[in-house]
């Protein structure tokens, strides 16, 4: 992943190769102000709890089912989800190749 003075470049396949060696199922790849970008690939059960910031998921690879409160959505590569801060959500089923970009943004909420 190369960084220049004004632009960051993230090679998704390079970042994905790091995930199996990390203690958590995600890698924080960019942070600035109230924005954070991660690559996330849950291992087995997704144990997320509600977050203090709004977040966006953009599915990088794979497919599965996403639960947002009491609604269920089938997803595949290229799909987009917005999750408001404090809302219960998780990936409840996913293929072995599932990865998603996660973008946290905005001021944290209690």
Q: What pLDDT does residue 7 have?
A: 59
pLDDT tens digits in sequence order for the chain, 110 residues long: 555 455 578 899 999 999 999 999 999 999 999 999 999 999 889 999 999 999 999 999 999 999 999 999 999 999 999 999 999 999 999 999 999 999 999 999 87
Q: What pLDDT does residue 44 have?
A: 87
Cβ(29)–Cβ(17) below 8 Å = no
Give the three-state DSSP class for 51: coil
Signed CA dihedral, 76, 80, 85, 87: sign only: negative
Q: Is the pTM of this model over 0.75?
A: yes
Residues 6 or more apart from 35 whose CB is under 8 A from it? 103, 104, 105
Structure tokens at 88: 């219960």
Cβ(44)–Cβ(55) below 8 Å = no
Q: What pLDDT does residue 8 have?
A: 76
How far apart CA 98 and CA 13 sit, in angstroms, is 13
């Amino acid at each position: 992943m190369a960084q220049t003075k004004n632009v960051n470049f993230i090679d998704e396949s390079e970042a994905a190769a790091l995930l199996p060696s990390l203690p958590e199922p995600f890698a924080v790849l960019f942070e600035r102000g109230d924005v954070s970008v991660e690559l996330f690939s849950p291992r087995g059960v997704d144990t997320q709890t509600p977050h203090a910031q709004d977040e966006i998921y953009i599915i990088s690879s794979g497919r599965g089912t996403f639960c947002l409160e009491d609604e269920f959505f089938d997803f595949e590569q290229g799909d987009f989800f917005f999750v408001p801060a404090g809302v219960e959500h998780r990936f409840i089923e996913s293929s072995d190749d599932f990865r998603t970009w996660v973008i946290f943004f905005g001021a944290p909420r209690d």
